[in-house]
Structure 1
Amino acid sequence: MSDNKTLLLVDGSSYLYRAFHAMPDLRAVPGDPTSAATGAIRGMINMMTALRREVRADYAACIFDAPGKTFRDDWYPQYKANRSPMPDDLRSQIDPIHQVVRLLGWPVLCVPDVEADDVIGTLARTGQSQGVEVIVSSGDKDLSQLVTEHITIIDTMNGKKRDVAGVTAEFGVPPALMVDYQTLVGDTVDNVPGVEKVGPKTAAKWLTQYGSLDALIAHAGEIKGAAGENLRKALDWLPQGRRLVTIRTDCDLDGHVPGLPALDALAIGPQQVEELKAFYDRFGFKSLVKALEAQEVPPELLEDAVRKAGQGAKAGPQAGPGLFDAASDAAASVASNLRYDTIFEWPDFDRWLARAMAADLVAIDTETDSLDEMVAQIVGISLSVEPGEAAYIPLGHNYPGAPAQLPRDEVLARLRPWLEDEGRKKLGQHIKYDRHVFANHGIEVRGYAHDTMLQSYVLEAHRPHGLSSLAERHVGRSGIDYEDLCGKGAHQIPFAQVDIARAAEYSCEDSDLTLDVHRVLWPQIEADEKLRFIYQLEMDSSETLCRVERHGVLIDAPVLAQQSQELGARMLALEKEAHELAGQPFNLGSPKQIGEIFFGKLGLPVVKKTPSGAPSTDEEVLEKLAEDYPLPARILEHRGLSKLKGTYTDKLGQLALPRTGRVHTHYAQAVAVTGRLSSNDPNLQNIPIRTAEGRRVREAFIAPPGHVIASADYSQIELRIMAHISGDEALLRAFTEGMDVHRATAGEVFGVPPEEVSSEQRRYAKVINFGLIYGMSSFGLARNLGIQNAAAKSYIDRYFARYPGVKAYMDETRLSAKSKGYVETVFGRRLYLPEINSPNGPRRGGAERAAINAPMQGTAADLIKLSMVKVQRVLDEEARGTRMIMQVHDELVFEVPEDEVQWVRAEVPRLMAGVAALKVPLLAEVGMGPNWDKAH
């Protein structure tokens, strides 16, 4: 067999999951969420067609996992025990995917009792033994152990290649040591334990030092510290772990690939055109039918092939000589129209600036030296004004031999009039970051009209919103991966050290893709009045949040240091108490030692077990045991204080920016599907304010001299939204008349006048009110109140009898969600529920509870954003000295000059209450003090 023949093996299981998550939620009947899902089928067709055009092969196979258990489950019953079940919408597409891949000309293999990886391993070694070059197309890093000089892994989604050098560079060990490496690190996805707390760096270091796992085991007694102790504890497990992670290369495939070891059975065949037409018709793929009829490549596939053919190195490291080829001469000629310029001279700069000034909309992207937006400095800027046309202005590349670049300060000075012109419309991906970056150089960008990240968030909040994901999902394009450009981990280089030619391709592509994606997403938003409203709210919120982040909040470091000292002392006391209760010293952070004391020495009851069969000591177990035993209670308290100290009192002061003395948290908009903001570095939303120690942390958030902190938040906002949405007369009346709604509910449920309601009855009513909003069952209510299930059910029945509108809302919402596949906030934000029609009872139940709660959470999120934008607008219009410094849940926090205290006390609640007209009045309350805690 000649040396130039190639066997192409496709990891079909990896492909189909990628297709499922990358494509929109397509349906056989467009717009009907109850019809069969088809997104993964369409994505698979796109990927397999593109791969066949990109990679020349004489033999091929697409390999899928078969349903049911495999031989590894017999070896280790906990194998893959933690893996989530396949989504029902994907499971329903598996058989059609197998069918269409065959119709596209690919041999398909699905071997019972054998994992796809093992089939791939066996075929790869078979091909290699016959002098055939083997290419495996997969994103699964576990297959790296198969790599040899004649077996290469490629990932066409991001252009990554794993040959011998690539594997060694990525993991720090050659392919021959990958099994040993994986044994040490373990595999959390497959639930295969490694050595506790041994990660990739330690594993690579050990294997480099000792040469193999066997040699490492022989010298295990020499390894010092906790890592050595953990290694020695794992010695009995390691042979089993190695057996589990080793891909078999000797599987019996007789009957599945007739004639092996000859590869003729895997000859790639022609497309079955007529059968494909019928298949595409059945699933509503009209463009694919037309493409077949015209005997041409579908537009989205042609464009993808064109991009890769025309960009050369833009596809990333190549999989081998000639493997990525132009789809056709026509594709190559179209690709030649792609124009990415790199600007080194002023005449070129002036030409592009004139184009930007004349364009209706310009996509702009910055490349920087840091992901921290408060300190990042610009390394380069790219612009795109038309699809396929972009320019990169390098400004800070400083590697040896880097060409001379235009001076950054002068470039920014010349760009400033355009950047700060409100009338010059600009587009970006995550524009809040770029606003900060330009602000670091003294430029306040105006005229941002669009953000593709926020467009995606408004249209499909439940999907990823990164640019690469958007490009793959909506325009069928994949770009250079940042890690391919800069490396990863300890080997990652700063962007300033990236070769300018590669940096230009990467940055131009980002701007070009952003413009491309915008042209697909914006028309969908523009056509829907509700979505336009939500999108504008997100755009306005982005601008306001940038102001909030930029100002930050002043931190009192000495207060935090004192709190850390006090927490440390209390933790030591708790540790001493725990040791006395246990009758011996032990590590309060060691589940193993805790388990030995609880269940071996003290004989405490086993509440539940871990996947490996050992008694669990997780937080849920500790909480249950703490109800009856003092030792678990001490450990729980110690854990809580340790987390508080490590996360907040020790860290907050360190997170303050030295030049401002303030903490500048980052607010992520495109994370929570309900529309709520997410805060990180630091996370201000998770400060545990239910404990006295947690509340004290807020004492460190202070006002500067001559100012106070003001906290304004909505009162009982989700209950008010429930009253509005449900239209329940009794609930509306309680809020309209200004009653204590929990007291009113208690009166209704317990059948007594509100003035005679006891504190205990009011507490029960409060739990019922909030519990039902979150879909709490009678069992959950009973557990929460410490009462019998029958009593809890009786309370809920009485509640619904007194508030029939609430019951009707819940029933109608479930039905509507099942019909549409989503629910909406009062303002039209769509909240998708992928599991609402799942045949899996618990998952469907969870989606039904979410359907009831999401409109309230989402509407509350919309209201606080409306308030945030409105208050900031008035502060600007009136040139007030008050600054908004935080947004946490339903609360806005301000830094207020003393001479504006009365204005804030009167006007902010009025503005917040007036942002929307609901059926019940909105009520906002303001508190003030020298710090955030005292403002409550």
Structure 2
Amino acid sequence: MTESKPLMLLVDGSSYLYRAFHAMPDLRGPDGQATGAVHGVVAMMRRLRDQFKPERAVCVFDAKGPTFRDEWYPEYKAQRAPMPEPLREQIPLIHEVVRLLGWPILEVPGIEADDAIGTLARVAAQQGHRVIISTGDKDLAQLVTPEVSLINTMSNEGLTEEGVMDKFGVPPNRIIDYLTLMGDTVDNVPGVEKVGPKTAAKWIAEYGSLDGVIAAAGSIKGVAGENLRKALDWLPMGRQLVTVKTDCDLHAHVTGWPALESLAIGAVDSAGLLAFFRQHGFKTWMRELEGAGVAAAGPSTVAEPTDALPPPPLQDKHYDTVTSWPAFETWLAKIQGAELVALDTETDSLNNLEARIVGLSFSVAPFEACYIPLRHAGMDAPEQLPLDEVLARLKPWLEDAARSKLGQHVKYDAHVFANHGIQIRGYAHDTMLQSYVLEAHKSHSLEALADRELGRKGLSYEDLCGKGAKQIPFAQVDVARAAEYSCEDSEMCLGVHQRLLPRIQADAGLRTVYEQIEMPTSAQLLRVERNGVLIDAERLRAHSHELGQRLLQLEAELAELAGQPFNIGSPKQIGEILFGKLGLPVKKKTATGAPSTDEEVLTELAADFPLPAKILEHRSLAKLKSTYTDKLPLMINAGTGRVHTHYAQAVAVTGRLASNDPNLQNIPVRTAEGRRIREAFIAPPGRLIASADYSQIELRIMAHLSGDEAMLAAFASGADIHKATAAEVFGAALDQVTGEQRRAAKAINFGLIYGMGAYGLASQLGIEPKAAKDYIDKYFARFQGVRAFMDETRASAKAKGFVETVFGRRLWLPEINSGNGPRRAGAERQAINAPMQGTAADLIKLAMLAVQKALDQEGKQTLIVMQVHDELVFELPEAERDWVAQRVPDLMAGVAQLKVPLLAEVGFGASWEAAH
């Protein structure tokens, strides 16, 4: 591409307004108008203009109404949710401010923005322009030529022909083929089932093109080949749908078309911008224009909008690589003199208990950091300071609780230091947890936070180490590159912290959740993870053998029921047996039109037919075997002889912890085989396992939040809540409630928490929907406080976009105002459940902290070894059984004062299962 050619800059406005909306906080102007997307778009458009200084430019948006693709394929984009209302109301503001910034705007009814961009790119290139398309849409990679390139303004990633090949594994002229094979779930365009980027690129490389793949379909083996053959009739339409048109008629929309003079980028309307920034509360940009002497009519003062500051300006970076003792002494003095230091470890493993330090970085101020390489071993690695001596010099500062430290996911770094015999103290802040507390529904990686908060994109781990089979260990990375990467991590962490902390401190509830729940929980989880739990490997191996025998027996039974053997792992073969050979009713279809054999379908069929019931049993036992009985013995740590799960703290939007490697929260304890798994979690000789959990915690929280008098009275009296509910619903005396009535009341109590309707209750109880609706109506007639709470919660969620726990945790509901009925209904159900599930999550964390504090203060040897849902699991000396039995329930019940008493119960045994 020749730089001397005039530049045409085409901006995919529709792509960016969505990305800006989801990337920015829920900003509001002085009048309460949502402005987050406006803010993001303004920042991007200004950056683009400053960076490229184009002669011609246009910002292209999708027009309202259907396009030609809807005529070709009525299901096109049928599953896409309507634009969120808070974004829709910002569209006129975005159009207004883009014009004020000097950009022409283009909307063409009947075609998508992609097609207008494709046409403009082709014509501009033909007329001697070099063309840059600013987009985040991979579909537009098909437009790349020597004259046309892409730039993703949010990630600063540029794609030329070579870049497309590197990123997708196919050249630009095969992107259409690539997309056709994969399909597009966002646009509801089916591809070849289970064909992803790697397979699509591999096939195209092997057979040359989509047509070549189609011609070779008969010889392609395996499930992928079967799926390809099933999709052959569809692929021509798929190709048509993913192809960006480059020959649209733009006469009515571009003056003088095909000449491009009308698309010259215009002057910025500074006076109009100043008025706009004043009206909508963009105070920093307003001051910037006022400082330049711009004047505009309008109010002289403006309310301070929440979170409306733009990313701070970039500065020159000052990064040091420390390889000598004098340089180390200089930085040690800086670290010791700083009020807050961001630090980051570079390691040789992601395994918490095995990772060892390769290098350390520290930052004491924005854009100022150092990297201390300690174990780089590449051929060109410089002389480095000795690891043990550096850690010995740093240890007093690292273990000093009075020296405030900051990190991103500090629990991991604390594990790493512990592996070197250092018990790091003084972690005051964690940017991952700050982001989680503020906006749990967004990404909390440092990369995402730096992009969102600072407008910066640093080096990625893959940039340094590569990926896949060619990935190298961090210790082999060039030290200069490693220093840049690690310094960026600690220094950007400090910058993100400076943006996030004030927002947390401005809200009392968020501050409580961050300071009193999440940060202390991080330190506590470190201890629980390092404690680990003992596993009876031989018991598991025996169980695994039994499961294997049962699976073989089931396979024989399945073959007999089907009248032939078949591959139980093949949805295609299962479908052929169930719907072809046996003629069972088809309940729903996959995207390619084949009858579905997913779990929901099989469960429905299993009520009436034995074969699907046996298939479900086989699937359940096979999963239990592969996930637990086979895998758990392999996960025993060689150094400790125990299994050490990892608790992910910033995953579930409700505040619940997620357990993985192994996942202790998904053991199916309602089945006998699942409970046998828990029998393998044992105590060593002379010790016991104890399990303590809250009783009916979410119902108690519902009573507290709703303030319903009947529920409060039932819990206050200590009555069986399900019998009390049945007595109210069925108008019976408490001692006259039947078992059937109690079962129905229990289903209603728990069903309402999870948003169950009449059909769901009818299915669970095996009754008619009309009878179930009658039960629910009677319930709400007697528990009017619950009905009022639900109605008020839904209304509040729609107005604010989130609900809150008792302690102030915000639970965001992005789909609460969706135009898509099922998604909106799902968000409304979440709005009811989330405050209860979130409050329960907060309570169990507080309970864990309270119990550990008492254990430490009283010098007990009892260990907390697991936290699963509303349960704490302990390993204890037999001599401390009475202490645990008496103190733990009291401590758990005392962590919060609700309108109803909290009740915790504890059991003991030689195994986790026996303790229940």
Give TM-score scaled by structure 2 length: 0.93
Contact 2:346-2:474 within 8 A present in 1 as well: yes
The match for 1:322 is none
Q: 338, 348, 353: which one pairs with 1:359?
A: 338
Query: Cα offset for 1:836?
Result: 4.1
Q: Which amino acid aligns with 1:349?
A: F
The match for 2:299 is none
Contact 2:847-2:892 within 8 A present in 1 as well: yes
Judged with a 3 Å threshold, the aligned counterparts in structure 2 of structure 1 residues 122 and 560 are, in CA distance, closer, same or farther, namely: farther
Matches within 5 A, 1:220-369: 220-295=217-292, 306-307=313-314, 335-336=315-316, 338-369=317-348
Instruction: Report the more deviating stretch, 559-568 or 37-46.
Output: 559-568
Structure 2: how far apart are the matches of 1:540 and 1:489? Answer: 36
The match for 2:376 is 397
The match for 1:924 is 904
For residues 343-388 of structure 1, what are the alpha-carbon distances to aligned partners after superposition, in whole Å with 9 as ceiling and x for unaligned?
Answer: 1211111111111111111111122233332222222211111222
Judged with a 3 Å threshold, the aligned counterparts in structure 2 of structure 1 residues 775 and 228 are, in CA distance, closer, same or farther, namely: closer
The match for 2:388 is 409
Structure 2: how far apart are the matches of 1:465 and 1:64? Answer: 30
Query: Cα offset for 1:445?
Result: 0.7
For residues 473-530 of structure 1, what are the alpha-carbon distances to aligned partners after superposition, in whole Å with 9 as ceiling and x for unaligned?
Answer: 3344343333334334444433333332232222222222222222222223334333
Structure 2: how far apart are the matches of 1:451 and 1:733? Answer: 42
The match for 2:37 is 40
Q: 49, 54, 66: which one pairs with 1:52?
A: 49
The match for 1:178 is 175
The match for 2:418 is 439
Matches within 5 A, 1:211-222: 211-222=208-219
Structure 2: how far apart are the matches of 1:458 and 1:806? Answer: 28
The match for 1:16 is 17
Q: How many residues align?
A: 904
Query: Cα offset for 1:449?
Result: 0.7
Query: Cα offset for 1:63?
Result: 2.0
The match for 1:144 is 141
Structure 2: how far apart are the matches of 1:404 and 1:302? Answer: 44
The match for 1:375 is 354
Judged with a 3 Å threshold, the aligned counterparts in structure 2 of structure 1 residues 2 and 361 are, in CA distance, closer, same or farther, namely: closer
Instruction: Report the more deviating stretch, 394-403 or 431-440.
Output: 394-403
Q: Say yes or no: does 1:776 pair with 2:756.
A: yes
The match for 1:63 is 60
Contact 2:155-2:451 within 8 A present in 1 as well: no
Structure 2: how far apart are the matches of 1:870 and 1:503? Answer: 41
Identity of aligned residues (%): 67
Query: Cα offset for 1:260?
Result: 3.9
Query: Cα offset for 1:432?
Result: 0.9
> SS state of the match for residue 658, structure 1?
coil
Query: Cα offset for 1:870?
Result: 1.1
Query: Cα offset for 1:419?
Result: 0.5
The match for 1:896 is 876
Contact 1:723-1:732 within 8 A present in 2 as well: yes
Instruction: Report the more deviating stretch, 210-219 or 911-920.
Output: 210-219
Q: Which amino acid aligns with 2:526?
A: C
The match for 2:462 is 483
Q: Say yes or no: does 1:428 pair with 2:407.
A: yes
The match for 1:544 is 524
> SS state of the match for residue 176, structure 1?
helix
> SS state of the match for residue 346, structure 2?
strand
Judged with a 3 Å threshold, the aligned counterparts in structure 2 of structure 1 residues 226 and 822 are, in CA distance, closer, same or farther, namely: closer
Query: Cα offset for 1:889?
Result: 0.5
Instruction: Report the more deviating stretch, 480-489 or 382-391.
Output: 480-489
Structure 2: how far apart are the matches of 1:301 and 1:135? Answer: 30
Q: Which amino acid aligns with 1:350?
A: E
Gaps of 5+ in 1: 308-334
Judged with a 3 Å threshold, the aligned counterparts in structure 2 of structure 1 residues 258 and 347 are, in CA distance, closer, same or farther, namely: same
Query: Cα offset for 1:39?
Result: 0.8
Contact 1:50-1:301 within 8 A present in 2 as well: no
Contact 1:2-1:131 within 8 A present in 2 as well: no
Contact 2:758-2:776 within 8 A present in 1 as well: yes
Query: Cα offset for 1:869?
Result: 0.7
> SS state of the match for residue 370, structure 2?
strand
Contact 1:79-1:191 within 8 A present in 2 as well: yes
Judged with a 3 Å threshold, the aligned counterparts in structure 2 of structure 1 residues 62 and 527 are, in CA distance, closer, same or farther, namely: closer
Query: Cα offset for 1:62?
Result: 1.8
Query: Cα offset for 1:272?
Result: 1.9
Query: Cα offset for 1:306?
Result: 4.9
Query: Cα offset for 1:597?
Result: 3.0
Judged with a 3 Å threshold, the aligned counterparts in structure 2 of structure 1 residues 125 and 395 are, in CA distance, closer, same or farther, namely: farther
Q: 625, 628, 637: which one pairs with 2:608?
A: 628
The match for 2:709 is 729
Query: Cα offset for 1:612?
Result: 4.2
Query: Cα offset for 1:284?
Result: 3.0
The match for 1:330 is none
Contact 2:575-2:596 within 8 A present in 1 as well: yes
Query: Cα offset for 1:340?
Result: 1.8
Give TM-score scaled by structure 1 length: 0.91
The match for 1:669 is 649
> SS state of the match for residue 904, structure 1?
helix
Q: Say yes or no: does 1:853 pair with 2:853.
A: no
For residues 751-808 of structure 1, what are the alpha-carbon distances to aligned partners after superposition, in whole Å with 9 as ceiling and x for unaligned?
Answer: 2222222211111111111122223333332232222333223323332333333333
Structure 2: how far apart are the matches of 1:427 and 1:218? Answer: 58
Q: Say yes or no: does 1:387 pair with 2:388.
A: no
Contact 2:311-2:453 within 8 A present in 1 as well: no
Q: 474, 477, 491: which one pairs with 1:498?
A: 477
Structure 2: how far apart are the matches of 1:213 and 1:916? Answer: 63
Structure 1: how far apart are the matches of 2:394 and 2:524? Answer: 23
Q: Say yes or no: does 1:98 pair with 2:98.
A: no
The match for 1:563 is 543
Q: Which amino acid aligns with 1:59?
A: R
Instruction: Report the more deviating stretch, 820-829 or 291-300.
Output: 291-300
Instruction: Report the more deviating stretch, 734-743 or 591-600.
Output: 591-600
The match for 2:618 is 638
The match for 1:194 is 191
Q: Which amino acid aligns with 2:195?
A: V
Structure 2: how far apart are the matches of 1:84 and 1:562? Answer: 49
What do you get for the CA RMSD once the two structures are aligned? 2.7
Instruction: Report the more deviating stretch, 155-164 or 739-748.
Output: 155-164
The match for 2:297 is none
> SS state of the match for residue 495, structure 2?
helix
Query: Cα offset for 1:676?
Result: 1.2
Structure 1: how far apart are the matches of 2:903 and 2:321? Answer: 55
Judged with a 3 Å threshold, the aligned counterparts in structure 2 of structure 1 residues 838 and 230 are, in CA distance, closer, same or farther, namely: closer
Contact 2:908-2:914 within 8 A present in 1 as well: yes
Query: Cα offset for 1:43?
Result: 0.8
Query: Cα offset for 1:341?
Result: 1.6
> SS state of the match for residue 847, structure 2?
helix
Contact 1:158-1:480 within 8 A present in 2 as well: no
Q: 84, 88, 94: which one pairs with 2:85?
A: 88
Query: Cα offset for 1:643?
Result: 2.3
Structure 2: how far apart are the matches of 1:611 and 1:195? Answer: 10
Query: Cα offset for 1:444?
Result: 1.2
Q: Which amino acid aligns with 1:477?
A: R
Judged with a 3 Å threshold, the aligned counterparts in structure 2 of structure 1 residues 440 and 409 are, in CA distance, closer, same or farther, namely: same
Judged with a 3 Å threshold, the aligned counterparts in structure 2 of structure 1 residues 876 and 74 are, in CA distance, closer, same or farther, namely: same
Judged with a 3 Å threshold, the aligned counterparts in structure 2 of structure 1 residues 444 and 40 are, in CA distance, closer, same or farther, namely: same
Instruction: Report the more deviating stretch, 350-359 or 397-406.
Output: 397-406
Q: Say yes or no: does 1:760 pair with 2:740.
A: yes
Matches within 5 A, 1:197-212: 197-212=194-209
Structure 2: how far apart are the matches of 1:798 and 1:180? Answer: 58
Structure 1: how far apart are the matches of 2:713 and 2:908? Answer: 31
Query: Cα offset for 1:613?
Result: 4.0
Query: Cα offset for 1:844?
Result: 4.3
Judged with a 3 Å threshold, the aligned counterparts in structure 2 of structure 1 residues 457 and 375 are, in CA distance, closer, same or farther, namely: same
Judged with a 3 Å threshold, the aligned counterparts in structure 2 of structure 1 residues 529 and 892 are, in CA distance, closer, same or farther, namely: same
Q: Which amino acid aligns with 2:882?
A: Q
